[in-house]
Structure 1
């Protein structure tokens, strides 16, 4: 099981999360590419730290929305969205190369992540950007998302994601952040849920109903309070349960995909 976290989401003198400590725990880093958060200094620093830690670098692409942290839907034209994603990929790839590593996957951020579950035009736009930039890149998102289906048809490698610190509805979607209980706080509870997702393939929803979960990677949000403690608890619990924790592009992941 891969563990990923959203990193590099500071901007200028403003810092968000403990990137260095999280990179000691996670196996994949979703690095902000300057549109919803992040800047040149941050991208270069996080890429260098990820390379040193042996953590996979992923492009955390989003809408051009620094003021809203990328959490507001934008009805951007598909061609413009394709170009925006291409620009973000190109910038992060440059910093990754300087650090001696590479961008190996793409994960949309915030409102774009949610939109791509059903928005066909934007889904096609993002798939086009990834395919044109580097068709060997993997794409990361929720099971059943339109954009993952389109990505698979386009020949891209698809990895399914679950969330450690977010509550699920009975429909298998994330509880909106504005609703009570949407973000989980207790590391022990979160760790137990992750073991259940990894070993049994289900999680209990806010209504109490079990929901099926398919996951190649589990996300711990870097901006969640005590994100480092949560990530450590999750990794420790998974390893204690006999789950192999490894990078998205490890041989284990390829074997799972092929099987």
Structure 2
């Protein structure tokens, strides 16, 4: 298979899965394995194309971000609370991400860990959907500092590939009583600093291994992920508002079991 076609396929996978509670990193690792590549050699690529998906959030919520940015400098209470909550939720990932960077990177090569994380995460989503009692929260700015910090801590579980950053943050928020829409949007917005930080860290760490051809591949993958993520995000909120997260939980379990079966035959 052409290496450029591989970049396009992985870009599609990234865009489809980054903001769904199914683990984009896990799917990218499984995809590289299915395509017959060494997952460790594509690990940096898989992280480097994340800015494409991040840009989709920026474009779709550009008016909100502009209002929050200008409001923050006007000392508007809603804008200040919005920024505060994102920072509080982001800080745990900074501390633990830097402290355990090498251990996290080693896990990015383990497809078996991904498969089990998909299954366990799927069961976790079903439990939260069954027992959580979310109520209308009034948006991200209305969340308490306690809720923001706890969601940030829960997000760190997603450093294990296959857990799903969006899944962990959304379920963590819902377990605290946050409604589905606000929980999903908090996960979207929290992706901006979290994924940007992870991308910068990986590119800085592995910049010597990135060739001119790799830059072209990364650009293609990022552009594809932007287009796909933009379409997925618009549909995602409508789906979860109507059907909840149960379908994604069952999908995770099925994919995880199938991956374990396939890995067991290799």
Q: TM-score, normalised by structure 1?
A: 0.27
- Higher RCO (C-alpha 8 Å, min separation 6): 2
| Greater percentage in strand | 1
Max Rg structure: 2
TM-score with structure 2 setting the length: 0.27
Q: Say which structure is richer in helix.
A: 2
